[in-house]
Amino acid sequence: MKKIIFIMAMLAVLPASAKVKKTVAQQPAPAPTTDNVLSEQEQREGWKLLWDGKTTNGWRGAKLQTFPQKGWRIEDGVLKVEAANGAESGNGGDIVTDKTYHNFILKVDFKITEGANSGIKYFVDPDMNQGEGSAIGCEFQILDDLRHPDAKLGVKGNRKLASLYDLIPAPEQKPFDITAWNTAMVIVKGSHVEHWLNGVKMLEYERNNQEWNALVAYSKYKNWPDFGNRDGRILLQDHGNEVWFKNVKIKEL
């Protein structure tokens, strides 16, 4: 009995916090946003954002002096082409960079909806085509190969995903997930150009030579003088289907 009274007395003098231990659930810290932000290593390596994830700075319509008033929207750090009727530059139209580029590595994260068609172009001269359709330049094709009819056109698959559009086909088997974000990369070193998809080289070619000019002569670009042999702007294409872009960045070489 004395032992019980002693224990009760000791408990009475303990601080309230010592009597009962409460477990407080810790809320996880929000994950840091890495989209449209350069890492310290990328900054050291000379990378620059072509799109800041928030504004239209650095871009304009390919056939306009300002950014299109319709057809494009910025939402949660994603630059979206709005769905229209599937026509080439039939809604807001293509957008191009303010600057032209010579030697560079270009990276663009993209995600497409089912049946979508779009593209990333380079060596673009906006003044070359002021009529209907897309601005003229070499194109890293973005396409749903399984559902879009353009995949069945062209020659030997040269209008399919990651191909040099209407010129050089990418391999039939390629690392691509239509449900996820994918990364296109274009490397230009002088006359040498490469297309990469999700870290895998899809194709490479040399321009400014007889073989290149002969290839162009048998393509839809045959009537555009000196196609692909000059420097130009970077372009994101409006082809009337919903397509998303982010992490648009470039490293000049």
**What is the SS3 assignment for 127?**
helix
* More confident: 91 or 206: 206
Let me know: does 70 contact 83? Beta carbons within 8 Å. no
Beta strands in the chain (DSSP E): 47-49, 59-61, 72-75, 78-81, 95-97, 104-112, 117-125, 136-143, 182-189, 192-197, 200-206, 233-236, 243-252
19's enclosing H/E stretch is: helix 16-19
pLDDT band per the 50, 70, 90 thresholds, residue 9: very low
Distance CA 174, CA 156 (A): 15
200-206 and 59-61 as β-strands: parallel, antiparallel, unpaired?
unpaired
Structure tokens at 51: 């799109």
Q: Where are the domains of the chain?
A: 37-252
Enter the pTM of the model: 0.86
pLDDT tens for 184-235 read: 999 999 999 999 999 999 999 999 999 999 999 999 999 999 999 999 999 9
Q: Provide the residue count of the chain.
A: 253
Distance CA 106, CA 196 (A): 10
DSSP class of residue 78 equals: E
pLDDT at residue 131, as a whole number: 76
pLDDT at residue 128, as a whole number: 87
CA distances in angstroms from 121 to 34, 173, 186, 190, listed in the order given: 25, 22, 10, 17
CATH code of the domain made up of 37-252: 2.60.120.560
